[in-house]
Copies of this chain bind each other. A is one copy, B any other.
Amino acid sequence: MLNPLTRKLLAFCDFTSAERRALARLGEYGVQRLPGNGLGNDPRKPGDVYLVVDGWAQRYKILPDGGRQILAYLLPGDMSERDTDVFGGFDHEMEAIGYATVCQISKQTLLETERDHPRIAIALAWAACVERATLQEWIANLGRRSPERRVAHLLCELWRRMAIIGNADGDVMSFPVSQVQLADTVGLTPVTVNRIIQRLRQQNTIILQNGKLQVLQAEQLCTMAGFDAAYLYADNSHAKSHDF
């Protein structure tokens, strides 16, 4: 079975068996299981990169007034930012959601892998590019979508990303995010998020309970969210056509 990083990058280009072995090795360094969901348990050491292999993690900021803003969800196959680690400290925190399994990869190991397998380096750069596009989509989400659409859009994105790595079983997927976390993601209060979710349930659009999300009416959800998956570059046709 391929690890989630390989599964994710496969959406960008095919790999030789040598490359696949290298990717597999990346998922075997310093494996550790982290509890999140509590105190500040940010496990990061500068210079190292963390790859989520099971469960979810989140990156977030705490503002001066104590408010929290979630900046990104790290699904299996996602890595903590590499560049930031290279150029200095972190400007945000990271922690697991519930429990997550991550592996800790030294900068050197990563650089050697990229040196030995240029196509992997390109694929990782592509992944970083998608991450930046996602940040931009979140800005648009927070700034110019109605509360209901905001939540819907986030659900669409997470569903699609889980599907890309093969972690969505049809229209059902694991969804370990609490309503408070959703609120800290989409810039609303937990109360509002709760009422929006109830509305979505009443419309038979989704089922969300017990850490599981089921999308009953995908078409409707995507439409109301104004969701266009292009920014995830899940449509790899143009990417694969490059000479990589």
Contact = CB atoms under 8 A, between A and B. Distances in A.
Contact of A135 (B83, B89, B139, B187): B139
Given A133-B91, A226-B64, A231-B91, A144 B69 contact: yes
Contact of A187 (B88, B125, B133, B143): B143
Given A125-B83, A135-B136, A145 B239 contact: no
Contacts of A83: 125, 128-129, 132
A38 interface: no
A125 B81 CA distance: 13
A8 B211 CA distance: 47
Contacts of A128: 83
Contacts of A230: 91
A203 interface: no
A214 interface: no
Interface in A41-78: 61, 63-65, 67-69, 71
Interface string A103-145: 0000000000000000000000110110011011011101111
A228 B185 CA distance: 21
Nearest to A232: B91
A157 to B, nearest CB: 14
Question: Looking at chain A's contact residues, is the secondary structure mostly helix, strand, loop, or mixed?
Answer: helix
Interface residues of A, number: 44
A162 interface: no
A84 interface: yes
A186 B187 CA distance: 12
B144 A187 contact: yes
A84 B129 contact: yes
Contact of A139 (B87, B129, B139): B139
Given A88-B239, A132-B132, 15 more contacts: A68-B144, A69-B144, A71-B140, A84-B133, A87-B129, A87-B233, A87-B242, A88-B238, A89-B238, A92-B136, A135-B135, A138-B139, A142-B143, A143-B184, A144-B187
